Amino acid sequence: MMGKLALITGGTRGIGAAIAQRLSRDGYRAVVTYHGNDAAAQAFTRDHGIPAYKWDVADFDACEQGVREVERDAGQPVEILVNNAGVTRDAMLHKMTPEQWRTVLDDDLSSCFNMSRAVIDGLRLRGWGRIINITSVNGQKGQFGQTNYSAAKAGMIGFTKALALESACKGVTVNAVAPGYTATDMVAKVDPALMERIVAQIPVGRLARCEEVAHAVAFLVHDDSGFITGTTLSVNGGQYLS
């Protein structure tokens, strides 16, 4: 019997890659999307045997077409969606350009709508589904220099709650995972002196591992988590408590 098909956006590196590998080990058929880095995507597929599809999750039509292509190739419908893709364009608001604002809102928040819209009809029709939205601790507490990113990630939490209410009677759960600072390529670009100050604010005294975030996703995807919906699971080492 084939495992359920799980689609993870932005899944060739960092947290997304860890989620894809974890779900694959748990018996799901994992498929990932990416947008820019062909070399990283090819290496990921070669190393892990997980197919990677290239499209822009900020493009509504591309998401619709991409999901249909994935389903045709797999011979089964997407039943699990993990909205993980995202970017940062950090700047203080008084220096932020409209392009920096739009890029982050489109790639981080509008992509969540685009991808969910492409699968939601099928999930409702079949009476089972899981949507997991990867938000951020900075969407919960805000962050200096990240009005765009914090707004997008906070928006994902509101989106999660509303879609959970719409979908609950159809057997579809919608949840968010809010990682704290995690050891990824994105975080590696942060100035070391700033990162030292950030880690000092995390009670467990370290960054998260990508595998720890993936574990939270695997928990919410599981059949036994069907009574959990509309929630945000924080994986932040105690940095922000709500």
**Both tokens assigned to 139:** 């969407």
This prediction has a pTM of 0.96
- The CATH-assigned architecture of domain 5-183+210-232 is 3-Layer(aba) Sandwich (3.40)
pLDDT digits 0-9 by tens, 125-161:
999 999 999 999 999 999 999 999 999 999 999 999 9
Element (H, E) at 31: strand 29-34
Instruction: Tell me the pLDDT of the chain (242 aa) as tens digits.
Output: 579 999 999 999 999 999 999 999 999 999 999 999 999 999 999 999 999 999 999 999 999 999 999 999 999 999 999 999 999 999 999 999 999 999 999 999 999 999 999 999 999 999 999 999 999 999 999 999 999 999 999 999 999 999 999 999 999 999 999 999 999 887 777 888 888 998 999 999 999 999 999 999 999 999 999 999 999 999 999 999 98
CB-CB neighbours of 145 under 10 Å:
15
How many helices and strands (H and E) does the chain possess? 10, 7
For the chain, the structural domain boundaries read 5-183+210-232
pLDDT digits 0-9 by tens, 162-171:
999 999 999 9
Is the Cβ–Cβ distance between 153 and 110 less than 8 Å?
no
Catalytic residue among 28, 34, 53, 149: 149
**How much of the chain is helix, strand and coil, in % rounded to 5?**
50, 15, 30
Q: Is 149 a catalytic residue?
A: yes
